[in-house]
Amino acid sequence: MSAVVETSAAPVARTGGFRWARFLRSPQGIVGLAVLAFVLAVALIGPLVAPHSLSAPVGVPASPPSPGFPLGTDYLGRDVLSRLLHGGTSVLVISCIATAFIYLIGIGVGMTAGLSRSIVDPVLMRIVDVFLVFPPLMLLLLLIAGAGTGVGILIVGIVLVLFPGVARIVRTATLEVSTTSYIEAAVARGERTLSTMRREVLPNITPAIIADVGVRFSAVIILAASVNFLGLGEKPPAANWGLMIAENLQIVSSNIWSVLAPAIMLALLTISINLLGDAYVRSLGRTEPPR
């Protein structure tokens, strides 16, 4: 019995963990945290300090920056700065909800397939392959064309497009640990599959999952912005950084900041998440395997 306990604890001895000190010493971690803090401040505090109304025209349409309007006005004469301060909330909400469901479904499918010793594995992977056949934006547009537009449909579409990649990564990581001694010990003890997933598999594949979050979260932002850019996501007068770009392309020669400002905010959010993901990977401690 004691041998089994020692065997199941082996992963803790063989793998390192997240190191806050190393993370905070890395340039990527510091810059990523600073940029993300700025974007979050704009998105969360911005609506409270916006100088003008979200939807009411306050000046001449397509006006360049002026003392009263630091970023000028948009194609309807609305204050670009005020809409920019309001536009981050929906981006963050949609991105966080979609990312959470992507990993919830992807981890469940991937671990189930990786631990399965039956036909379940190939069946699940063939279903995943069906979603991977279609280009992401095409599949998303087909869903919107058939089911309509709206935030809910947008989130469902993004989840369907991106969960297959997570499922494949999780399955591969699960296969690598499924033949280790501590998994075999858990099976020998008669633990249920869900218990084995939660207690033995998930803790040991978490670093691979977290390292992928930055890339996946960035993909969510890009897809959501692309759909809003095409006018198929949120509808005016909603303020969304992607929607702002689509709305004001016609006046970019008159007031470039109506397009450039929301594009910069989307870029900063994407860059910060990727920097944090890179810093996390670099901060993982490694120890030598036991002999």
Q: How many helices, marked H, and strands, marked E, lie in the chain?
A: 13, 2
Domain-located, residue 131: yes
Has residue 135 been placed in a domain?
yes
**What confidence score (pLDDT) does residue 19 get?**
63
Give yes or no for residue 18 having a pLDDT over 70. no
Structural domain count, the chain:
1
> Residues, the chain, total?
291
Give a yes or no: residue 290 inside a domain. Answer: no
pLDDT at position 283: 76
pTM, two decimals, is 0.80
185 in any annotated domain = yes
Give the model's pLDDT for residue 290: 37
pLDDT surpassing 60 at residue 11: no
| Domain boundaries, position 86 | 18-46+72-285
- Among the residue ranges 19-23, 91-95, 243-247, 280-284, the one predicted with the least confidence is 19-23
CATH number of the domain that residue 204 is part of? 1.10.3720.10
Closest CA to 240 of 97, 86, 95: 86
